[in-house]
Amino acid sequence: MGEEVRITDYDVGGDDDDRVLEWEAGLPTLDDLMPLSQSLVPPELASAFSVMPEPRRSMIDVNRASQNTLTNLRGQSMKQPLNKFNGFKSFGEDKGDEMVMEGEETADLTGDGSDSRKLRRVDSGGAGAVGGAGEEADSALRADDSSTRTSKRPRLVWTPQLHKRFVDVVAHLGVKNAVPKTIMQLMNVEGLTRENVASHLQKYRLYLKRMQGLSNEGPSSSDHLFASTPVPQSLHESSGGGNGNSHTPVPIPMPYPPQMVHMPYPPPQMVPHPAGAGGAAYHHGFESHSHPYNMMMQQRDWSANKFASVSPYQHRMTPNDK
DNA sequence: TCTTTAATAT
DNA sequence: CATATTAAAG
């Protein structure tokens, strides 16, 4: 940890990319970002897991990756759906994806394949009909292969990143308007269902209640995820607006006015951690080597995101959105 | 085997 | 949509 990398020298959003500008509004400042050249896995930790630390990433690599990112970004931004938020579901395919994480985690170190980004979520209908760009047939996710249809989704894992997003949305919505459906929509995480959110919301509310009761006193011991989350003081009135809306129960704050309040949740994807990629992170089923270091890896926000390697499932169009 | 956490049922 | 219950993961 030492050197810093400036990636600001690219004239992003120079002219046409409105979305890029919107993203920036929601993105952390440069100071919050971990330098891309910095290794994600500390050597000590790596050795503890008997994994070889990441090869080496020079500034050149980082810069090149950044260029690629921007290039892909521009390439993608040809179409502008009405809904800017959902529009990002089409991030499935990048051509020359050669992002920061060059093929290295593919290296199966311990042989058991504990990590590496084979995380992914199964889709009830998309039986391997995805991008097709060399995807391994990963069928271990289904508890029961009975049928492609009527398959239950794998258990969702609420990674810190996911939870962060959840909390942010809830906070910005205000506890009043924070209902599962709205939350799900605003989070805009591919593959996340309303039930997922509802269940988590329930737990979250329980947590809040507990915290209220015992205003001081640290969190129990299981609230690791919830702890240290900037929960709204208690209630945030409908942030919908500052506009003249004096009531707005909660119908549909999603007319997505020209400009969002202050949280244009940009890209629907999580961090490069082996627990969540693209959309929601599901338990892989086997070898649950879930790293207890999830928390450590937790970068602030989705800052360390790459714009690539989103879930290949772009063909997810249901009236419910999702 | 017990606890935590997400899924499902009411 | 909220809560209670059941099931799974850790």
| A183: in domain | yes
CA of A292 to C1' of B3 (A): 16
| A177: in domain | yes
Contact A98, A70 (CB under 8 A): no
**Protein residue closest to C2, using CA and C1':** A202
CATH of the domain at A179: 1.10.10.60
Residue ranges making up the domain that contains A192: 165-211
CA of A40 to C1' of B2 (A): 34
| A95: in domain | no
Burial profile A304-320: b = 16 or more Cβ within 10 angstroms, e = fewer? bbbbbbbbbbbebeeee
The reply to whether the CB atom of residue A221 sits less than 7 A from any atom in nucleic acid chain B is yes
Cβ contacts of A156-159, under 8 Å, gap ≥ 24:
A156/A192, A156/A196, A156/A280, A156/A281, A156/A282, A156/A283, A157/A275, A157/A276, A157/A280, A157/A281, A157/A282, A157/A283, A157/A290, A158/A200, A158/A225, A159/A270, A159/A271, A159/A273, A159/A275, A159/A276, A159/A281, A159/A294
| A50: in domain | no
Helix intervals (H) in chain A: 18-26, 43-48, 59-76, 160-177, 180-187, 194-213, 294-297
Enumerate the nucleotides of strand C whose atoms come under 7 Å of any protein CB: 1-4, 8-10
Q: What is the pLDDT of residue A209?
A: 86
Enumerate the nucleotides of strand B whose atoms come under 7 Å of any protein CB: 3-9
Residue in A60, A81, A120 with CA at minimum distance from that of residue A281: A120
Contact A119, A310 (CB under 8 A): no
Q: Which amino acid is at A97?
A: D
Chunk chain A into consecutive blocks of 10 residues (it has 322) and report each block's average pLDDT, rounded to whole numbers. Answer: 40 39 40 41 44 43 40 35 33 33 33 34 35 35 46 86 90 87 90 93 90 68 70 52 36 32 51 46 50 40 33 34 46
Q: What is the pLDDT of residue A200?
A: 95
- Separation of alpha carbons A14 and A17, rounded Å: 7
The reply to whether the CB atom of residue A83 sits less than 7 A from any atom in nucleic acid chain C is no
CA of A237 to C1' of C8 (A): 37
Q: What is the pLDDT of residue A290?
A: 39
| A194: in domain | yes
The count of structural domains within chain A is 1
The reply to whether the CB atom of residue A180 sits less than 7 A from any atom in nucleic acid chain C is yes
| A172: in domain | yes
Q: Which helix (H) or strand (E) holds A281?
A: strand A281-282
The reply to whether the CB atom of residue A316 sits less than 7 A from any atom in nucleic acid chain B is no
| A188: in domain | yes
| A310: in domain | no
The reply to whether the CB atom of residue A212 sits less than 7 A from any atom in nucleic acid chain C is no
Q: What is the pLDDT of residue A37?
A: 39
